[in-house]
Structure 1
Amino acid sequence: MRVLIVSDTHGRHGNFDRALEEAGQIDVFIHLGDVEGGEDYMDAVIDCEKHMVRGNNDFFSDLPREEEFYLGKYKVFITHGHAYYVSLDPEYIFEEGQARKADIVMYGHTHRPFFEQKDGITVLNPGSLSFPRQEGRKGSYMIMEIEADGTATYDQRYLG
């Protein structure tokens, strides 16, 4: 299973289209908020299972604030992250993941990639495709693959 994980596109589709093309065939698409009206576009161009949540800039969106679902054997919790103070410290979102018995926690909001595995939980942020804030300022996204044996691997990617 191949999963494309993006966040913070802010209504801009140029880098999103590039990431979608670079990712190749995907089975699941995850957007971690601040879609800013891009939901219809993404629905139109992506033909697979989709999970999208609203962010702090998605004022008129009907998207859920957060979602829990399974990818293979992994329980996943997704949210934009602003309600969990991720700009200050990822510890709050980690604790929320523990409380929800999640295996994987995904968030956005900071516009900076993040990846940590501890105490059996993977916490990740793919960064922002539209307004990256990390050194080098390249739009970023993540590919998660679940192998036939159930093992999950993660690949942080940057647009060239």
Structure 2
Amino acid sequence: MKALILSDSHGWTNEVKEIIDRHRDEVDVVYHCGDSELDQDHPVLKDANVVKGNCDFGVDFPNEIKEDVKGVRFYITHGHLYNVKLTTDRLSYRAEEMGAAIACFGHTHIATSFEQNGVIYINPGSIKLPLGGRTKTYAICERINDVTTVTFHQQTDGEIVEELTKVYD
């Protein structure tokens, strides 16, 4: 199973299209963790599963997605409804309640992944406005058997950001 995860593109269309096109043939699913600031029917999002962020006004994206992809349960949300800028506790409770193996969120604009209580959490960062001048990133999550690898990639050229890459087994 392989998933492309991006977030906080804040109106960018060409960059979102470029990232999705770059990985289209190698992933099983594409998730956008909110703040696309695009309409639900925008062509760039046609191959993506998108949740509503705090900057997505007037659109009918869901606040959360629970989906099984090749036997792996994903939980996707933006994070603002769970106050993730202060703590991930509420997000953790919800992800566990949803039975998630992998929970993806945005909102903080900080690329990170971690494991807590058996759930892997992924924030792909922001492809437009990373916090503190960090690299503009998105993530790819791959699970083979019981080993999950999360790689972060530079928005501009897809190069892997090695210091953020983690393996969970």
Match for residue 20 of structure 2? Answer: 20
Q: Normalization by structure 2: what TM-score? A: 0.81
User: Which residue identity is paired with 2:137?
Assistant: S
Whether 1:155 aligns to 2:155 is: no
Aligned residues: 154
Decide which of 40, 43, 47 is 1:41's aligned counterpart. 43
Match for residue 29 of structure 1? Answer: 30
Which has the larger displacement, 74-83 or 90-99?
Answer: 90-99
Superposed CA offset, 1:75-97 (max 9, x none): 11111000000011122211211
Decide which of 114, 134, 146 is 2:143's aligned counterpart. 146
- Contact 2:28–2:69 at 8 Å: present in 1 too? no
Cα offset, 1:22, TM superposition: 4.3
Q: Normalization by structure 1: what TM-score? A: 0.85
Superposed CA offset, 1:58-89 (max 9, x none): 11111111110112222111110000000111
Q: 2 CA distance for matches of 1:125 and 1:27?
A: 19
Q: 2 CA distance for matches of 1:9 and 1:131?
A: 8
User: Which residue identity is paired with 1:91?
Assistant: D
Q: 1 CA distance for matches of 2:38 and 2:24?
A: 24
Cα offset, 1:138, TM superposition: 1.7
Q: 1 CA distance for matches of 2:49 and 2:17?
A: 17
Cα offset, 1:114, TM superposition: 1.8
Q: 1 CA distance for matches of 2:69 and 2:14?
A: 28
Structure 1 runs of 4+ aligned residues shifted over 4 Å read none
Q: Aligned with 2:140: secondary structure?
A: strand
Q: Aligned with 1:42: secondary structure?
A: helix
Cα offset, 1:21, TM superposition: 4.7
List gaps (5 residues or longer) in structure 2. Answer: 157-169
Q: Aligned with 1:154: secondary structure?
A: strand
Q: 1 CA distance for matches of 2:86 and 2:137?
A: 21
Q: 2 CA distance for matches of 1:18 and 1:150?
A: 30
Whether 1:78 aligns to 2:80 is: no
List gaps (5 residues or longer) in structure 1. Answer: none
Cα separation, partners in 2 of 1:113 and 1:142, compared to 1, 3 Å: same
Decide which of 86, 91, 94 is 2:92's aligned counterpart. 94
